Amino acid sequence: MKFLRTVATATALAMVATGAFAAPLKLKPANPQPTGLKQGLAVKYAFPADVKSLSQATRYLKKAKAGKPLSGLDYRDTNNGDDTLTSGQAHHVAAAISGYVKFDSPGTYTIDFLTNDGLDARVGGQTVGYFDGRQSCSETRAVEVEVPQAGWYPLEATYFQRVGSSCLHMRAGKGAPDWMPNAAFGYK
C-alpha cells in the first residue's frame, strides 16, 4: 500500500512539474503600443559551418547581419536545397527574429509552431515555442496563454536550420491553434 501511495504521489508531482495543471502563461503587451509598424518581422542571420543546437545558434548570432525582413511566420516546408526563410542560403542558417505579433481580442489562446530545426520563441515575455535539436517539420508543444488585451505583443525568436528541408510557422487560436496571417506581424 505504501508503495502505491508513493507511486501515486510521484505521478501527481510529475504531472504538476510538466504543466498538466498549469494555468495559462500571461503575456505582457508592448508598452507603449507601437505605431507605424512595417508588416513582417526583422531578422538577422549567421551562417555557421554547422549548427546543431540553440546554444550554438545563439553564439553564432552574436556576429549576425541584418537580412531581408520576413513576411510573417508562415514558411512552409521547403525542398532540400531551397532557401531557408529569406536568408539566401539553404543549410547551416541561424536566425534572430524580432518584432511584434497582434492579437485582435483578449482571451485564452493556444500557441504552437512548426519548425525544422531548432526554435526558442517568446511572445509577451513568455516562452511559447521551444525545440532544441534537429527534426523534420514538426510541431512544438502547444502552450496556453492569456492575452489580457487586444494589441501588439513583443516577439523574439532564435531559430536554426541545419541540413535538408526547412520550415517555420506560428499558429494561435482560441481553442485549437490556426495559422497566423502575415498581417498579424509587424516590426520597426
pLDDT band of residue 8 (cuts 50, 70, 90) is very low
**Three-state DSSP class for 32?**
coil
Phi, psi of 136 (to 5 degrees): -75, 175
Give pLDDT tens digits for 55-88: 999 999 999 999 999 999 999 999 999 999 999 9
30-43 exposure pattern, b = at least 16 Cβ within 10 A, e = fewer: eeeebeeeeebbbb
pLDDT band of residue 21 (cuts 50, 70, 90) is low
Q: What is the DSSP letter of 165?
A: -
Would you kindly state where each structural domain of the chain is located, as residue ranges?
Answer: 23-187
Q: What is the mean pLDDT of residues 45-52?
A: 97
- Please, what is the average pLDDT of the chain? 91
Give pLDDT tens digits for 28-39: 999 999 999 999
pLDDT band of residue 5 (cuts 50, 70, 90) is very low
User: Distance (Å, rounded) from C-alpha 10 to C-alpha 155?
Assistant: 36
Q: What is the pLDDT of residue 172?
A: 98
Q: Is the pLDDT of residue 138 over 50?
A: yes
* Set of cell numbers at residue 38: 512595417
- Percent of the chain scoring above 90 in pLDDT: 88
User: Distance (Å, rounded) from C-alpha 47 to C-alpha 68?
Assistant: 15
98 and 45 in contact (C-beta within 8 Å)?
no
User: Distance (Å, rounded) from C-alpha 33 to C-alpha 157?
Assistant: 20
* Set of cell numbers at residue 53: 543546437
Q: What is the pLDDT of residue 20?
A: 52
- Residue whose cell numbers read 528541408: 165
User: Distance (Å, rounded) from C-alpha 34 to C-alpha 12?
Assistant: 43
Q: Which CATH number fits domain 23-187: 3.10.310.30, 2.130.10.10, 2.60.120.1560, 1.10.1740.10?
A: 2.60.120.1560
